[in-house]
Structure 1
Amino acid sequence: MAFKLGGTSSISLDSPERMFLDFSDRAFKGLLTHQGHVLAEYQSKALSVPNVAIKLPTGSGKTLVGALIAEWRRRKMQERVVYVCPTRQLAYQVVEEARTKYGMADTIAPFVGRKADYNPYDKGRFQSGDVVAVTTYGGLFNAKTFFDEPHCLIFDDAHAVENYMAQHWTLQVERAGHPTLFSVLAAILGEVLAPIDAKRLREAAETRWDASWVDMVPRAAVAVIEAQLVAALDEHLASDDLRWRWLELRDHLSAC
């Protein structure tokens, strides 16, 4: 399928700030001094840098800065841009502010919830590069994300992404929730753990230390039992809710 990206515009694209000043229906008269400095520095020093971090204090207008970078790149570079937020509430808030305050009423849209529930019209506009998509970390980082080929990702509160990424790439097998699988894995791991640690894993905690015990199996040891681990997880997670996380991890154990 061929995609048409961008189009002509009478709005100046010399800079994000100039573009913003050309938006006739914006509620803000102009940028604050520090916002203008950040945008100018981004344009002059970081435009072609693959990964850029912009640090602004809470309440300093970082949403406007991020939204203007997103819209400017969409227009000037004809890119598919995704603005990513930690929560659904923040995603809707970004869209609302951009539409009512920044003059982006027709060029930004929420992509929140299930992919099947995304607005079909907005989906087509995003693929054509006609709208900035605003979604959540969960909407972006999943096995069947709609945003498989974006040109630019802008992360709001990027420090919060660690929890979402760790959760997505974590397979947690509970003794109570998966008793059979837990026992099988404990037996396999017992082959490479110290005897006292293998005992802690197999048996109920006897002390506070046992209850809070955490360990990491060395990569060399994992290689010894990897085939057994994969076979056990394949068998016991075939019809379990954890299977989706396992499918993401299965072929990448060497990176875990």
Structure 2
Amino acid sequence: MKGYMNVGRVTDTVRMLEALRHQDDSSSHPDHVTYTTVISAFVKAGSMDRARRVLAEMTRVGVPANRITYNILLKGYCQQLQIDQAKELLREMADDAGIEPDVVSYNILIDGCILVDDSAGALGFFNEMRTRGLAPTKISYTTLMKAFALSGQPKLANKVFDEMLNDPRNGVSEEAKKIIQRIKDNGFHPDVATYGSLANGIALARKPGEALLLWNEVKERCRVKKEGETSDPSDPPTLKPDEGL
């Protein structure tokens, strides 16, 4: 069944489920893994209504879904930009099925908010995750940074970056540096605080080569143009570093 699912053969995946249903040996009847595989096939094909019907059937026949099943459905709704349905499924998951969402669940929802350009929604899920006592992962932080960077809010992205650096479980990461690059690509330029965060992260990671590259970039930003030297409108503004940087 997984083989059929992986290559997108949804009809064959469902046919296997039907075959298992009609086995005389009850131990061969579909279990939660079987149903979750079928749900994955429908999600991969973009057939969210059919995927939800399989979830309803699991409840009807007494085969409990687990967190993995719900996370697959959550991701499917987010990929289809159906964030309201994802939110409703999250509620059903916790209230009706009694399954607490995990960090993976919230990371999926935060990323889904990015797809619909909803940075406020991404922050809401990030805060809700922490309210539930779930510690953010590097993926949580960098996904939220991406939400703010893509929505043209570099200062908020910088605040999230600072918080990630102060989290003892995390350090500067390649993902975080990519987010800073996205800030630049969107026409914004790192300020003193952003450079300071990067410098602190590089120092904690003990990467002198990266420190030198960052210092060269800062020096270029500090350079005052000579009299008569032409300026390009796309050039970043002159930087005035503080003592800390």
TM over 0.5: no
Higher helix share: 2
More strand by share: 1
The alignment's TM-score, normalised by the length of structure 2, stands at: 0.23
What TM-score, normalized by structure 1, do the two folds share? 0.22
Q: Name which structure has the greater RCO, CA cutoff 8 Å, separation 6+.
A: 1
